[in-house]
Amino acid sequence: MKSVRFLALLVGVFLSAHAVGAVGATAVPEVAATTASKKKAGPITRIDPTFWWVGMKNPKLQLLVYGPGIGASKVSLKYDGVTLNGVQKLENPNYLLVNLTISPNTRPGKLPLEFQGERKIKYDYELRARSNKVGRVQGITSADFVYLLMPDRFANGDPKNDVVKGTLVNRVARDSMYARHGGDLLGIENHFDYLKELGVTAIWPTPIVENDMPKASYHGYALTDYYAVDPRYGTNEDYVNFVRNAHRNGLKVIHDVVLNHMGSKNYLFLDQPAKDWFHQWPTFTRSNYRDAAFNDPYVSQADRKQFGEGWFDTTMPDVNQSNPLVANYLIQNFLWWVEYTGLDGYRIDTYPYSDRRFLMDWGAAIQEQYPRLGMYGEAWVQGNGQQAYFARNILPPVDGFKSNLPGVTDFQSQYAITEAMTKDAGWTDGIAKLYYALQGDWMYENALRNVVFLDNHDMSRFFSVIGEDVPKLKMALSWLLTTRGIPQLYYGTEILMKNFSNPDGLVRADFPGGFPGDIQNKFVATGRSTAEQEVFALVSKLATYRKAHPALHSGRLMQFVPQEGVYTYFRYSDAGTVMVLMNSNKDAKTVDGGRFAERLNGFSSGVEVVSGAVVLDLKTLRIPGRTAWVVELK
């Protein structure tokens, strides 16, 4: 029964973590009724993509044109280098697809599209020149240290955009965890120096695209416009400048994207191009959240369908990516954001929930155009094998699926570090879990591309989970910044922010000092308590050291089977060797260094990186309880 209760709790946390908060929907809405076909074609409301570039590797471009009755129009154009390959009508007469081929030698400029129906409509579509600026699309590697933050909750740099006329949530209420609080892109920019002092090299904001939903719109995962920054964070050009300024400050930018679903207030759902653009059910059907259904050899097809086609939440329509028109729309959109902004990486939300054929096509298209782009997907799954299934691996294809995603969020090591800090050591329990989590790396093409973390915006804060034990947190942070992979820190961990995910809003509290009127300011050392400053200093010290020592961020790893609650591993390369010892016991332990002879050979002493203490005897190591030593060997 304990396992049943645990599973129920896990599902409950998962749902609360991802839900937008709306309840009560009982059926999936049908395609919106329209009488547009009986009217004259009206003005074009929009065209997606909003503009495009000359010189993309794929010369094909498909425009989704939206406007009253536009589907009845004939289209013509005359522009050197651009070929009209025909149009395609959709079930909804308010849409029309225009297929183009853009030759490599085409001049940038205004592409004159003419739509002829009962009236003539002219539309100048912009073709831009691609940017050749140095430093764009740098990618994300194991040399980076990622800082995850929620823009609405980090800092308010421009109070003028707190309330935007016409949005469904037109107020700020910082006393409500599900309301808008006013944070924005400028607020993040204003604290670039803080992030650099902490040793951060890459910023991962939760989605910055428009999320104009009536409830819990602050988190961004129910997008309502694929091509627009949420106006309460800034404009599209503000985001371009944000990325540019981040690069000038030595910071990379990771763009959080959602492939599986959208918000129910998205125009594409309110006036659906066709029924088959979304997964339709007779009554509202939620996903069963069982990713194992995708590769279970004994699976019920009903379970598999419900996992992949069920809705994530009542206000998150499930997108039908098996429809090639939908797939193309999504692929073009995520090529667009990279070219437009020069961002460095994609984090893909709810990665396992998408259509698997689509995932392969999407990944191939993005990586063909931007081979340096960093990409990792959320894989909140159970087991090393299941996690490896969703990343590039050495395993055979299953049902035709062979992931081309470079890396995933490493939940297996997150489960392990949590157990290491909350349970006593045993044969496979406690700190031994860390050993087994990494032992599974044999399945990956390159486990260095996986993102390791202690917690995130969907989970209880790690500091609360470990009973607000500062020594344990320091120990876990030392592991985070020395193990293999790309370390990710959730905002505020460095200043001991706490709380549990139920209710989940509490783990998304405002960063103290980021908002006008805040009594405390944790962005400066004088605003932090002694314990907060100690943890901040630890992160800064190790992150800065890690940045300068290739052995620690991209070197090889050798781990030794934990003994008596002590886990020891080495990071090493031609440039140097670092030994890490983690004592999970309350009391000090003496470790026989002779056991590590194959890595200690040739070294006689070391320096503990954080404290600066000299370790003169590597044969007998006396390690205090609840402590991690990071020792540079000499």
Q: Look at residue 40 in the predicted model and tell me its pLDDT.
A: 54
pLDDT digits (tens, 9 = 90+) for 346-400: 999 999 999 999 999 999 999 999 999 999 999 999 999 999 999 999 999 999 9
Cα 556 from Cα 578, distance rounded (Å)? 10
* Topology given in CATH for the domain delimited by 36-129: Immunoglobulin-like (2.60.40)
Neighbours of 538 (CB within 10 A): 20
Fold for the domain defined by 552-633: Immunoglobulin-like (2.60.40)
Q: Check the CA dihedral 363-364-370-375 and report its sign.
A: positive
CATH (residue range 2-25+140-548): 3.20.20.80
In the chain, what's the furthest Cα-to-Cα distance? 89
Residue 382 CB: number of other CB atoms within 10 A?
15
Name the stretches of the chain with pLDDT < 50. 1-39
What lies within 8 Å, CB to CB, of 430 at 6+ separation is 419, 420, 423, 424, 565, 584
Q: Is 468 a residue of the active site?
A: no
Q: What is the DSSP letter of 467?
A: T
Task: Report residue 72 as tokens.
Answer: 């009845």
| Strand positions, DSSP E, 370-427 | 374-377, 407-408
Catalytic residue from among 349, 361, 510, 632: 349
State yes or no: is 349 an active-site residue: yes
Question: Beta strand pairing status for 556-563 and 451-453?
Answer: unpaired
For 499-511, the pLDDT digits (tens) are 999 877 899 999 9
Please, are residues 65 and 47 in contact by the beta-carbon 8 Å criterion?
yes
Domains 2-25+140-548 and 552-633 share a fold: no
Report how far residue 278's alpha carbon sits from residue 133's, in angstroms, rounded to the nearest whole number: 39
- The four Cα atoms 383, 389, 392, 395 give a dihedral, to 10 degrees, of 100
Tokens of 290: 């069982």
Q: What per-residue confidence (pLDDT) applies to 74? A: 96
At residue 259, what are phi and psi to the nearest 5 degrees?
Answer: -95, -30
Specify the DSSP element, H or E, that contains 99.
strand 95-102
Select which of 378, 441, 504, 532 is catalytic. 378
Domain spans, the chain: 2-25+140-548, 36-129, 552-633
Partner residues linked to 114 by β-bridges:
76, 122
What is the C-alpha separation between 440 and 618, in angstroms, rounded? 29
pTM beyond cutoff 0.85 = yes
Predicted pLDDT of residue 8: 37
295 SS3 class: coil
Give me 121's structure tokens: 């409509």
Residues in the chain: 634
* pLDDT given for residue 117 in this prediction: 87
The two counts, helices (H) then strands (E), for the chain are: 17, 26
Q: What are phi and psi of 560, to 5 degrees?
A: -110, 145
